[in-house]
Amino acid sequence: MYTKIIRLDPLNFSIDQLQEAVDLIKRDEIVAFPTETVYGLGGSAFSETAVRKIFKAKGRPSDNPMIVHISDLEMLSSIVKTIPEKIRKLCERFWPGPLTILFDKSDKIPDIVTAGLSTVAVRMPSQPLALALIKTLGIPIAAPSANLSSRPSPTQAKHVFDDLQGKIPLIIDGGSCDVGVESTVIDVHKGFSVILRPGGVNLEKLREYLPEIEMYREKNIDKLDEYSPQSPGLKYKHYSPKAEIVLIEGSIKFFEEKIVSLYSEYRLQRIIIGIIHTHKNIQISSEILDDPNCKIIYLGSLDSKTDSDNSINADKIAEGLFSTLRAVDNQKIDLVIVEGISDKKIGLAVMNRLRRAASKIIKE
């Protein structure tokens, strides 16, 4: 299959430029498209044929539910049983945007979309191309991330092409994704409020509207058989490059110490070692810096006003996370040592992805 790429400016495009994608989806084909979080691989949420094609292209397990994307609340009403007032207010506050909410699904949504669950995960993207595509199509789009399962999510059209070339007919290239990590997924309809997956809307923001909301693991809800998994991204290992990841959680000094000890341990294996740091200024010995088999990668903001500014920009780290993990593979790195960040605000989503990708976690 030939994979065509259409490059569009999300701030300057015409609806006619989306017509090819619309026609494909109406024929039960699938299309990759940009959202504000990551690129999605979408097909009609009403078509079992299209959804099966998504599973096949990604190599995605069929018991992993998908998110359904809508363009307005009228479309939401057509695919869920009810919209409680509490949830409607959340929709009005956070949509369009990177928040996915669980609802009791209507019979219009095939069971294959929800992996047989009675609930459906729904969100309204804010990316102009995604929103216009759904609105023009006139039906909701079922779409997981547009990557091979277990690989880092795609935040650029090139990432989609690298993974899915020859497997899908069309990629809409709308540039890099602004948020860089997937949407936050919440469930507020079963007598409690819980974040199933942290993402683009942080816990602190949600607590302004839902003071009682907690993280999934903190509530121990995963111990309930009927509750696992209710959300995309809970059951399987995700977000991993081919390289082994060793995640270091602690102070800058602790990270620097672990670089030395881990480098001494792993260099004897004659492998390519990567070091990803999130603070701009860290102490790395000349021996490591001069080693051609050691690659240093800075994941953070390059716009610090002075070299003495060693703060981190969690939003920039989130935006560049998946691109950096893909760069690890491009540089043929075998093992990468990663500096963790605080799990406050969007840092919670970043650390969630790194912990799920890591083979080993070392804490101070």
* Annotated binding residues for ATP: 60, 64, 119, 145, 153, 197, 239
- Residue owning tokens 């995960």: 121
Per the CB < 8 A criterion, the answer to whether 257 and 237 are in contact is no
Per the CB < 8 A criterion, the answer to whether 364 and 251 are in contact is yes
Burial of 290 by CB count in 10 Å (0-12 exposed, 13-18 middle, 19+ buried)? exposed
Annotated binding site: 37, 60, 64, 69, 119, 123, 143, 145, 153, 183, 197, 239
Tokens found for residue 117: 């669950």
Nearest-CA neighbor of 99 among 16, 210, 19, 11?
A: 210
What is the rounded CA–CA span in Å between residue 17 and residue 11? Answer: 13
What is the rounded CA–CA span in Å between residue 151 and residue 75? Answer: 31
Q: Which helix (H) or strand (E) holds 186?
A: strand 184-187
Annotated binding site for L-threonine: 37, 69, 123, 143, 183
Per the CB < 8 A criterion, the answer to whether 226 and 119 are in contact is no
What is the rounded CA–CA span in Å between residue 122 and residue 188? Answer: 13
Per the CB < 8 A criterion, the answer to whether 171 and 40 are in contact is no
Q: How many CB atoms lie within 10 A of CB 203?
A: 19
Tokens found for residue 99: 């928040």
Q: How many CB atoms lie within 10 A of CB 288?
A: 16
Per the CB < 8 A criterion, the answer to whether 22 and 162 are in contact is no
Residue 247: which residues within 8 A CB-CB, separation 6 or more? 338, 340, 354, 355, 358, 360, 361, 362
CA-based R_g, the chain, Å: 21
Tokens found for residue 209: 């509207």
What is the rounded CA–CA span in Å between residue 154 and residue 35? Answer: 10
